[in-house]
Amino acid sequence: MNLTALIVTWNRLSQLQHTVKATLALPFQHIVIVNNGSTDGTASWLADLSDPRIHTINESKNAGGSEGFYQGSKYISENIDTEWVVFYDDDAWPAVDFIEKFLDLNLTEPSVACAKVIDCDGNLCSMNLPWRKRTVSFKDNFNYIRNPENYTVEVDNPCAAISCSFVGCIVHADILKKTYTQILRELFIYFDDVYYGYSLHLQGYSLRYYPHLVMYHDIGGRPKSILPAWKSYYLVRNMLLSRTIFKEKSFFSASAILFRITKYFLIALKSPDKSKSISVLFRAIKDGLSNNRAPFN
């Protein structure tokens, strides 16, 4: 069975070096690396790699992770003969038995497999958990706050999903060729993977979570209490765009949007630059409601 790795990177050379080393140790037939205009020497380092399995795409600027995964998927669909494509970032890598465990699944039909993502200490990365059902009503959203496991996949049990994460999803190449244009490159960051997986779900493709497929995600040292204004912008704007993208089947219901905007407003109130954070939040709401998909600047 032929597998291709798709890695997107931007200015994280030291982490990328570890990721590529771990990837090269596995029997991938091809490794596609999209360099999103890095300025830290990534392009030079990639140019020196000699393994014939590596394909490098150097973008002139950073247009976001969504653009990187779009361009990588397009390249694979047009240039590489493969059966499955494994998506991940420059700070993630598959476990040593990842491909072995995947082959054991003996998947014969085009589908999407989702891995269990853990950090370097073995703790679950909840941000990368696929969803198995949406939060629709106010009751759902209150319940999600208390018991998120009722809506995401079951951590230790295989189950169906309605979304995927671009850290650890494995997409059949036939599906990718038909649908890679549904990776919304203009989102820049956040929900591009959720919306892509959800779009596949709505089209009737099978998405399943397999906890014995393990992907590592190096998220150590990132501040948990501080959310930069530009990140909150994309979180809020892209969430609101769900109403335009999916219309009556929006991934985020009106109540879910209200709950999350309230959360980000409270975060903005705690920001060192409160006025700027609140201003950016209102701009994100305006742009999301007006379907403005231009990059934040």
Domain residue spans in the chain?
3-217, 229-289
Kindly compute the dihedral angle of the four CA atoms of residues 235, 290, 145, 191, in this order, to the nearest 10 degrees: -40
Q: How many CB atoms lie within 10 A of CB 162?
A: 19
Q: What is the mean pLDDT of the chain?
A: 95
**pLDDT exceeds cutoff 60 at 64:** yes
CA distance 122 to 127: 14
Query: How far, in Å, are 261, 276, 278 from residue 272 at the CA level?
Result: 19, 9, 11
Q: What top-level class would CATH report for the domain 3-217?
A: alpha beta
Strand, helix or coil at 231? Answer: helix
Higher-confidence residue of 220 and 127: namely: 127
117-135 CB burial, b ≥16 within 10 A, e <16: bbeeeeeebeebbbbbebb
Task: Point out the least confidently predicted range of 53-67, 110-124, 134-148, 275-289.
Answer: 134-148
Cβ contact 264:227 at 8 Å: yes
- Percent of the chain having pLDDT more than 90? 89
**pLDDT exceeds cutoff 70 at 253:** yes
Per-residue pLDDT tens for 201-238? 999 999 999 999 999 999 876 555 578 889 999 999 99
Cβ contact 100:212 at 8 Å: no
Per-residue pLDDT tens for 166-179? 999 999 999 999 99
Cβ contact 76:85 at 8 Å: yes
Question: Residue 48, exposed/middle/buried by CB under 10 A (0-12, 13-18, 19+)?
Answer: exposed
* pLDDT category of residue 271 using cuts at 50, 70 and 90: confident
**pLDDT exceeds cutoff 80 at 155:** yes
